Structure 1
Amino acid sequence: MQINEQIRDREVRVIGADGGQIGIMSARDAQRIAYEKNLDLVKISPTANPPVCRIMDYGKYRFEQAKREKEARKNQHIVEIKEVRLSLNIDTHDFNTKVNHAMRFLQEGNKVKVSIRFRGREMGHPEIGTEIMQRFAEAVSECGGVEKQPKLEGRHMIMFVSAKTQKPAKKEKEAGPR
């Protein structure tokens, strides 16, 4: 973005600090008007014919823009992939614990990778792994849905579950007496 002396165009369309049109004039005259008001002349549309310049406080403008970008970064949520590992002969309580972990990850807005590692003779029974994966998918169905169906890749069976709502659940802190 060009400001003040960097603007070398012969004629520019000038917009005042209040947002009203001042008109088409030479860049030198526009700079003089900006200096008289202790403001900067900023080229905001270089491709227009003639280029459009605005009289504004450039420092304040940059500060406002940085503030908006910081706010946007603060509000965005990066989706992480969390992994939950199961086994073919998993017990009921262990299974429920893994389901609870996956539900918490999904409520935070993350994706969950569910995997089962087949050892030794377990490779002969991939249908048991598929059955466990389906049971797991049903258990977490209130928080998330299956994004990628269970698939056997080498010795691992992998399934991806994603959160139903994309907005992460924010934890509210109570501002009461302690």
Structure 2
Amino acid sequence: MKNSDKFNTIPGNMVRIQKIVSHPEFKKSMESIRELEKDRIFCRHGMEHLLDVSRIAYIDNMETGAGYAKDVIYAAGLLHDVGKYLQYTQGVEHHIASERIGRRILTDAGFDGEETEAICEAILAHRKKISAGEKTLKSILYRADKISRACYACEASDQCDWSEEKKTPGVIA
């Protein structure tokens, strides 16, 4: 293998993730969100946020010994807000829209029924407060989504409608 080949190969455990991010419905959703949030002063829901959530969730998964596969964690992180544009345009709560869109994408990406159900359950629950000690995929996604927000450093924090208890108070390690 040439040195340059090392940088062009997708690790075997991330092939399905590449299928998610290249899926036409994922791309359409992300473009719609980007356009609808272009002037938004509050938290955005683009790739930066989705990758932050995925990476934080994967670290949580490893630190707690929860045992979820890397691509399952990343699938949940990448898809948890994918329906946000439907909340803006049609009033559908984004966790519900994200679960519907995510289910189709997961099937096309090759996730099996058990994985799809766990990921979709996590997407549906990512806005509900969950016990801190749980090692479920839904609790990992919930924590990662909340930790990913830098409310303490946000210039629009004083205009945000999130309650103070909901805002991330500082760097969480």
Q: Normalization by structure 2: what TM-score?
A: 0.23
**Greater helix percent: which structure?**
2
Q: RCO higher in 1 or 2 (8 Å CA, sep ≥ 6)?
A: 2
